[in-house]
Amino acid sequence: MPDSRVPRRRRYLVCEPRHFAVLYAINPWMHPDEPVDVIRALDQWQALVDAYRVHGHTVDTVKPVPGLPDMVFAANAAVVVDGRVFGSLFHAPERRPESVPYEAWFKSEGYDVYHPESVCEGEGDLVPAGRWILAGTGFRTTREAHSEVQEYLGVPVISLTLVDPYFYHLDTALFVLDEGHDGNIVYYPEAFSPGSREVLARLYPDAVLATREDAMAFGLNSVSDGRHVFISPGATALAGQLADRGYVPVPVDLSEFHKAGGGIKCCTQEIREIRS
């Protein structure tokens, strides 16, 4: 295995959790009767932003809006490939207003935003992986949205079916280590239907496979820059596997956000420009 990897500088969009709370339940992690420590959430979020910047990445922020407690989960707002922004149409009515401030931010930066006709939750279920986009369905984003994504972005889309409600978004069950032609991924097999597991095994015969323990610790809700992997400190076995393969785990505790079913990747939207 390689003893070193080369990172690529990224541009991330995040949203401060000033109004973060669990006010409703739209996944098994959410319990409105359990209080959220907003001060702790703010500290954890800032630690993530600082970690990105320390490792050379650009971090932009969108202003949080009162009454939108899940707006901190920036990944769900869109997917951006080659400077094209494919927006979101959230499954839950409570989250649908989040699309408006994110669209306004992208437009202020000079982007056009595509409005999906079908339910689609951004990078929560759409994971760019080099030659194609891995696309989740089963709980949130629909298969019809997968077709819209392919038509708009002109990138082949690989549909994958999620079957475990604890892993309701693709980015809770899988993340990309490298986006190059021969890129690789990490995933938790049991989060997927049998046919989808076969597809992943064919596409990624050398993938890193995670245990349920690491998946439940939000180890699959990680962000990789090709060398550094920003990962939940609870995913210890997975971090060991990654280190053995030449990656550098960077533990960042976002445990307060686990109360809403989110973690590092959920809080991180990557803006992918056209590469020269």
Among 120, 146, 228, 266, the active-site one is 266
Cβ neighbors of 35 (< 8 A, separation 6 or more) are none
- pLDDT of 249 > 50? The answer is yes
Beta bridge partners of 176: 185
Residues 66-120 have pLDDT tens digits of: 999 999 999 999 999 999 999 999 999 999 999 999 999 999 999 999 999 999 9
Helix (H) or strand (E) holding 39: helix 38-54
- pLDDT of 225 > 70? The answer is yes
Beta bridge partners of 120: 89
| Distance (Å) of CA 274 to CA 52, 55, 123, 151 | 21, 22, 18, 18
Residues 113-157 have pLDDT tens digits of: 999 999 999 999 999 999 999 999 999 999 999 999 999 999 999
Section 35-62 average pLDDT:
98
- pLDDT of 2 > 70? The answer is no
Residue pointed to by tokens 């994958």: 160
169 annotated active-site: yes
Instruction: Retrieve residue 136's tokens.
Output: 């989740």
Mean residue pLDDT across the chain:
96
Cβ neighbors of 7 (< 8 A, separation 6 or more) are 55, 56, 225, 226, 227, 228
228 annotated active-site: no
Among 57, 146, 169, 228, the active-site one is 169
Q: Which of 82, 59, 45 is nearest to 13 (CA)?
A: 59
